[in-house]
Structure 1
């Protein structure tokens, strides 16, 4: 069966998008050789040169690798994070869509005083009450993300529901907070695992980490929630972000 290519972008870009989606959906399973250039060209009705260009781009991204004299294979441990404000922090779904089995462990959750860095993110005095949740996300039993979420206590519904600390931040804000998220700021930086993080993430002390700090701003442009996401550096990541206003 031939999959048609609509020539709005360059042909190689369209092929690249199609193959990327197939890899993400598990059409080409890890450990199994992908179709050869000639076969893909015949299926898509394009030239081998266009297929070769698309494969080269995917290899540069780390989504595939080539074995000399053997063929092309999907890269192992590709964890793709795609998000938009309305679905921000839905890590379990992203793990599932990458073809792996998600698991969530809540390490601690509840009301507590804000730490200094959290207070700075939320623009509140240190020690002011926040709802804090720390969760460990696993893929096929291996830790892939440590997520700490904090929400300003001011504006929360009283009394809080018994399962409030188990909710995802956006769900909680939508249902039990007077401030609704309207926009988001995100900061990325590299870090090294200390002993505590290395133990939780099952990695070596000093190993590289990817850290993403997100701050949700309310309709008054003031911070209402913040989240720090820590990813072990031995994972393969592709991150695609579409930032839109949360309604």
Structure 2
């Protein structure tokens, strides 16, 4: 009788180790330490190979959580770990709001087919007037309006025509991967302050003219083609952001 030996999903293992080690740095065994054990001892304690651990530590160093110095070891950057809302690290809205100490909730999701205005067409590299799918959602933090986001994708990207709008209630990345066979590998984001206009002020329960944090973000696939354009309004009274800037 032949037995099938399942393969170990290395990506899943990497994700599990990353989450576990970050939890240990934030609130667990390493919450009060300034220096991590050696790679050999840490890998042995976690029950993983040094190569998996080394990949996780490389990401942590890029994100600023640690600094590795030859002859010194792996130093923990506690002030970076304590910066809970980082603009330079991509996170889903629900996770972002949860990290900020609030309970996240989706107030509404509106799905609509539209014709691309000039700015949307330029961002998605499509013709003006081409059909797009616009998904608007309002995210609450402890029932307070925190983020209004509208995602735009070209209808021509959708490979599976039979789908429910409920599928678009989930994070847009899920829809892109499942129905468009597309994955956003990096984003280019324009950040600027704007003044709340009538509809935004009404949704956010603020007066018109109050400053808001605005981001226009284009998501690119592995071939550097734009597949997603998002317009986001963030309530600065609820969410404030830090950015890690590193010298290379």
Instruction: Verify same fold: TM over 0.5.
Output: yes
Give runs of aligned pairs for residues 80-159 of structure 1, distance below 5 A.
80-81=85-86, 84=89, 88=90, 90-159=92-161
The number of residues matched between the two structures is 180
Alpha-carbon separation, structure 1, partners of 2:117 and 2:131: 10
Among 154, 160, 163, the residue aligned to 1:161? 163
**1:177 is aligned to 2:177:** no
**Larger fraction in strand:** 1
Structure number with the bigger relative contact order (C-alpha 8 A, sep ≥ 6) is 1
- Deviation string 1:150-170 (CA, Å, 9 cap, x unpaired) is 111112123231123212111
Deviation, structure 1 residue 205: 0.3
Alpha-carbon separation, structure 1, partners of 2:174 and 2:138: 18
Q: Which runs of 4+ in 1 moved over 4 A?
A: 7-10, 81-84
Name the residue aligned to 2:240: 237
Residue 196 of structure 1: SS of its match in structure 2?
helix
Runs of 5+ in structure 1 lacking a partner? 25-79, 243-247
Alpha-carbon separation, structure 1, partners of 2:80 and 2:223: 38
Deviation, structure 1 residue 119: 1.6
Deviation, structure 1 residue 4: 2.9
Alpha-carbon separation, structure 2, partners of 1:241 and 1:122: 28
- Structure 1 stretch 149-158 or stretch 173-182: which is displaced more? 173-182
Q: What CA RMSD, in Å, does the superposition of the two structures yield over aligned residues?
A: 2.9
Alpha-carbon separation, structure 2, partners of 1:182 and 1:14: 27
**TM-score, scaled relative to structure 1:** 0.64
Cα contact 1:147–1:228 (8 A) shared by 2:
yes
Runs of 5+ in structure 2 lacking a partner? 1-28, 37-66, 70-74
Cα contact 2:34–2:76 (8 A) shared by 1:
no
Alpha-carbon separation, structure 1, partners of 2:33 and 2:76: 14
**TM-score, scaled relative to structure 2:** 0.63
Cα contact 2:100–2:239 (8 A) shared by 1:
no
